[in-house]
Every structure is written in structure tokens, then in C-alpha cells.
Amino acid sequence: MIPQDQTAIREVSITLPVRDDQLNSLQLGDAVFLNGMVFTGREGLYHMIFEKKAEPPIDIRTLGGATFHCSPAINESSPGIYHVPSVTATASFRFAKYMPEFLSRYNIHFVIGKGGMSSRVYKESFVPNRTIYLTTVGYGLGAIYGKGIVGVKDVAWKKELGLAQAIWVLEVNHFGPFMVECDARGNSLFEQGNDEINKKFLPLYEGLPIPALKRLGEVTSPAQEVV
């Protein structure tokens, strides 16, 4: 399913909220560009909603169904006037446990972040909610993503969570590229890639000794490795 023999990556532009037929047609490895509204959230947001049982002061259900695991580099030139020169995602696997409830309660169809989650999480909580996981590309492309942000539409929980963790509602135009890491069936691009890599990688260990002194906490076989 990885576009092996294909020479170019397919680039797809989507205006939020996304239509069902568009969701179904997205394939692993497609590069998606978004137009409309995206809201940010990370530890602070999930903590407020799930540990403190608070409801966000803005209705995130109606924003277009795309959430972004990140904290933007926000520049407040004068009170209430924000500028977002660059933005980089944060690793998403930390938020996996909140996904089942979060996706259905807030009508989320795109989760954007870094590195993805496991296909088990996708199958259990993404597929039933018709949600696609999009990963940022390269992870350090702050300048390109910053260019896709037209402006800040709204901000919530700024006082409670601080600039980095607040819910930022960003108006975006040609915001991307984001790569389809989990498709509508819950397949994971990374997992498929890893299977392919392991065929080449694991044999390299042949003949290399395990460390003379094993120490607590050290993994001595690449097969035991977690991520």
C-alpha cells in the first residue's frame, strides 16, 4: 500500500469540514493541504477536559473537525494581536489514551501531529469515528507550516494553560503538507515502513556481540524495542 513504484507523492487540497468521500479516498502517503480552521491542543487541553472535567469555553465541535498536537510560536505584538511565524508538531503517542472519547465527543476527523500512534489505537478509536491521522512532514519544517497560517481566529484557556498550551484557533490556507499516516481503514504508514526496514536492518546485527556488561535498563535486542 506504500506507493513504492509511484514516482511522485499525490498532493491533495481539502477544505474543512472534510466530506465523507474525501476521507475515504485518502491513501497512505498522500500529502494533504488544509484550508479552513484548525485548533491546537496538547497536554493542557486533555488535562482540562479529562482530568478537570472542564468544557472548553469555545465550541470546538463546530470548528471544522481538525485538531493539531502542537504549540505554535506565538508572537503577541500588542495585546490581542497575534502573529504565528512558525509551528512544529509535538509527539502524538502521549495522547492516545484520550482519543476514543475525544474524537467522538468533539466530532474530530483529522488528528494532526508528530509520529502517529499505533494501528491498534487507530482501529479501536479512529476507524469508528471516521478519523484520519495526519503527520507533519520532516518534523522540523516550522517555516513552511508558518506560511500556511493566515491568522489567529480565537484563543481559549490562555490564562489557565499559558501561551504554549492554550487552545489556538488558527485560520489556515494551503496549510501543509501533512502525510496520511492512518487511513480510513486504520492502516499505519509507519508500521508498514518499519516492516520493510526491519528486513534490511535486523540482519546488520549478525556477528555483533551483545555488550560485555549488561546493565539495568539497557535493551540488548532491537526486537524488544518499544516505539
Partner 1 sequence: MYGTDRYEEFMEEKDVMIRAETILAASRELNTRAAIEIPKDVQQKVEKMASEETNPLSRYVLEKILDNYETAIKDRSPMCADTGLPRYYAKIGNQASIEGGMVALEKSLRQATADTTASIPLRPNRVHPFSRKDHNNNVGLHAPTVDYSFEPNVDWMDITVVHKGGLFGGEYRMLFPADGIPGLKRFFLDSIAEFLRRGMSCQPAVIGIGVGGTKDVCVRLSKEAACLRLVGDRNSEPEIARLEEELIDLGNNAGFGPMGFPGKSAVLDVHIEAAYAHTGGMPVGIQQFCYAQRRKTARFFPDNTVEFREDPRWFTPYYRRETID
Note the residues at the interface with partner 1 (CB under 8 A): 2-4, 6-9, 29, 31, 70, 72-73, 75, 85-88, 91, 115-116, 135, 137-147, 164, 177, 179, 189-190, 193-194, 196-201, 204-205, 207-213, 215, 218-219, 222, 225, 227
User: Smallest distance, Å, CB 141 to ligand SF4?
Assistant: 8
Judged by beta carbon distances under 5 to 8 A according to partner kind, the member of ligand SF4, partner 1, none in contact with residue 222 is partner 1
139 in contact with ligand SF4 (CB under 6 A): yes
Give the H or E element holding residue 34: strand 31-40
Phi-psi region of 138 (alpha: psi -120 to 50; beta: other; left: phi over 0): left
CA–CA dist 122, 44 (Å, integer): 23
140 in contact with ligand SF4 (CB under 6 A): yes
CA–CA dist 165, 122 (Å, integer): 25
88 in contact with ligand SF4 (CB under 6 A): yes
Residue nearest to ligand SF4 (CB): 140
CA–CA dist 80, 218 (Å, integer): 49
Closer CB to partner 1, residue 54 or residue 143?
Answer: 143
Q: What is the CA radius of gyration of the chain?
A: 19
Task: Count Cα neighbours of 93 within 13 Å in the Cβ-side half-sphere.
Answer: 9
Closer CB to partner 1, residue 53 or residue 224?
Answer: 224
Q: How does DSSP classify residue 91?
A: B
User: Smallest distance, Å, CB 27 to partner 1?
Assistant: 12
CA–CA dist 160, 47 (Å, integer): 11
Judged by beta carbon distances under 5 to 8 A according to partner kind, the member of partner 1, ligand SF4, none in contact with residue 7 is partner 1
Closer CB to partner 1, residue 106 or residue 117?
Answer: 117
Tell me whether strands 167-182 and 132-136 are parallel, antiparallel or unpaired: antiparallel
- Three-state DSSP state, 215: coil
User: Smallest distance, Å, CB 142 to partner 1?
Assistant: 4
For ligand SF4, the binding residues (CB under 6 A) are 88, 139-140
